[in-house]
């Protein structure tokens, strides 16, 4: 078991609500500072959307090279500029879509008058050539989620239930929807600490669960590897890269499931943290060295 003394001294002041660590298939830490219940995991939802894209690829429902103008022909602006014309499904997953500003963010969504957020998303300027500039933006994962839903003929929760959630023991999770009823793939999924941790374990195990290969290990390797530069450790397909060769599902205020492949471990936190840099240092100074 991990010695949590140093971590636990600072965790409550940083707003940590729960911690779970598994290594070599064994749970080596589980502590909560508040009731374990389903909470909004914010942008960690993006990594679950990435998982849905992986299943859709596996089933031949879409490809990363498809152009957005072909995926969403009914919602294009009257004038399609060259950058939008070049954008592909892959660009939806890397935060290098080409738009200048973050859109569809939490404070913005209640204020939109346009109910068709696909049309709205494609109407915003594509100022950069896709793939050339990292701009954190909810448009990409939202559109990726909509594309999966349209091709599959159901919402993301229904799509992932037989493919993922049922296997992992995650019953009927709540997930935010847009005004037209599409699951909001960029955020708003509610999971418990243990459910988020289980998702991380599924990725650490390269898509295997209870002896069954559910999702392509190649897709998981691609998703959690550096696909683009972001001024730090890099970004995959809706997964952040971190120090010590880690990758993580990362939601606002410290909803993290950190994959530590070099240690065969997953560290998962749910938090209400306003000092993310301090929380990161706490994890990598007090927990990671013990693995």
Query: What are the pLDDT digits (tens) for 142-161?
Result: 999 999 999 999 999 999 99
Angle of helix 217-224 versus helix 193-204 axis, rounded to 10: 110
Query: Are residues 75 and 28 part of one domain?
Result: no
Per the domain annotation, does 129 fall within a domain? yes
Query: Are residues 119 and 149 part of one domain?
Result: yes
Per the domain annotation, does 156 fall within a domain? yes
Query: Are residues 93 and 9 part of one domain?
Result: no
- Give the span between the Cα atoms of 43 and 247, in whole angstroms: 14
Summarize pLDDT for 9-37 with one digit per residue, the tens. 999 999 999 999 999 999 999 999 999 99
Rounded to the nearest integer, the mean pLDDT of the chain is 98
Give 190's pLDDT tier (boundaries 50, 70, 90): very high
Across 73-83, average pLDDT = 97
Query: Are residues 3 and 52 part of one domain?
Result: no
Give 247's pLDDT tier (boundaries 50, 70, 90): very high
The CATH number linked to 263 is 3.40.710.10
Query: Are residues 64 and 166 part of one domain?
Result: yes
pLDDT of residue 40: 99
Length of the chain: 291
Per the domain annotation, does 89 fall within a domain? yes
Across 120-142, average pLDDT = 98
CA quadruple 111, 119, 103, 101: dihedral sign: negative
At 64, list the tokens: 């990363």
- Give the span between the Cα atoms of 169 and 190, in whole angstroms: 14
- Per-residue burial over 211-243, b if 16 or more Cβ lie within 10 Å, else e, is eeebbbeebbebbbeebbebeeebbbbbbbbbe
Query: Are residues 42 and 174 part of one domain?
Result: yes
Give 57's pLDDT tier (boundaries 50, 70, 90): very high
Summarize pLDDT for 89-109 with one digit per residue, the tens. 999 999 999 999 999 999 999
Query: Are residues 203 and 107 part of one domain?
Result: no
Per the domain annotation, does 215 fall within a domain? no
pLDDT of residue 172: 94
Give 211's pLDDT tier (boundaries 50, 70, 90): very high
Across 260-288, average pLDDT = 99
Number of domains the chain is built from = 2
For 281, phi then psi, to 5°, come to -65, -40
Across 64-78, average pLDDT = 99
pLDDT of residue 137: 98
Query: Are residues 98 and 168 part of one domain?
Result: yes
Give 130's pLDDT tier (boundaries 50, 70, 90): very high
pTM of the model: 0.98
Give 177's pLDDT tier (boundaries 50, 70, 90): very high
Range of the domain at 56: 38-191
Per the domain annotation, does 214 fall within a domain? no
pLDDT of residue 124: 98
Per the domain annotation, does 276 fall within a domain? yes
Across 74-82, average pLDDT = 97
Query: Are residues 257 and 236 part of one domain?
Result: yes
Q: For residue 98, give the 3-state DSSP assignment.
A: coil
Query: Are residues 263 and 202 part of one domain?
Result: yes
Give 62's pLDDT tier (boundaries 50, 70, 90): very high
DSSP 2: -
Query: Are residues 50 and 177 part of one domain?
Result: yes
Query: Are residues 173 and 58 part of one domain?
Result: yes
- Give the span between the Cα atoms of 263 and 259, in whole angstroms: 9
């Amino acid at each position: 078991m991990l010695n949590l003394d140093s971590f636990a001294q600072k965790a409550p002041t940083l707003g940590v609500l729960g911690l779970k660590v598994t290594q070599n298939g064994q749970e080596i830490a589980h502590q909560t500072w508040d009731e374990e219940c389903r909470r909004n995991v914010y942008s960690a939802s993006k990594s679950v959307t990435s998982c849905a894209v992986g299943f859709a690829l596996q089933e031949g429902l879409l490809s990363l090279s498809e152009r957005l103008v072909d995926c969403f022909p009914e919602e294009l602006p009257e004038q399609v500029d060259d950058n939008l014309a070049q954008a592909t499904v892959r660009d939806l997953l890397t935060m290098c879509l080409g738009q200048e500003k973050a859109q569809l963010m939490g404070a913005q969504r209640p204020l939109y008058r346009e109910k068709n957020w696909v049309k709205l998303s494609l109407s915003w300027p594509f100022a950069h050539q896709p793939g050339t500039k990292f701009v954190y933006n909810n448009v990409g994962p939202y559109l990726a989620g909509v594309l999966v839903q349209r091709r599959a003929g159901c919402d993301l929760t229904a799509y992932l239930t037989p493919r993922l959630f049922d296997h992992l023991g995650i019953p009927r999770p709540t997930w935010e929807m847009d005004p037209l009823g599409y699951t909001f793939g960029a955020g708003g999924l509610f999971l418990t600490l243990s459910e988020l941790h289980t998702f991380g374990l599924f990725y650490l195990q390269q898509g295997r669960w209870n002896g069954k290969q559910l999702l392509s290990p190649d897709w998981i390797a691609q998703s959690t590897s550096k696909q683009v530069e972001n001024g730090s450790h890099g970004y995959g397909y809706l997964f952040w890269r971190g120090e010590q060769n880690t990758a993580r599902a990362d939601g606002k205020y410290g909803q993290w499931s950190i994959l530590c492949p070099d240690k065969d471990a997953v560290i998962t936190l749910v938090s209400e943290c306003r000092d993310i840099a301090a929380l990161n240092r706490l994890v990598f100074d007090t927990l990671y060295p013990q693995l």
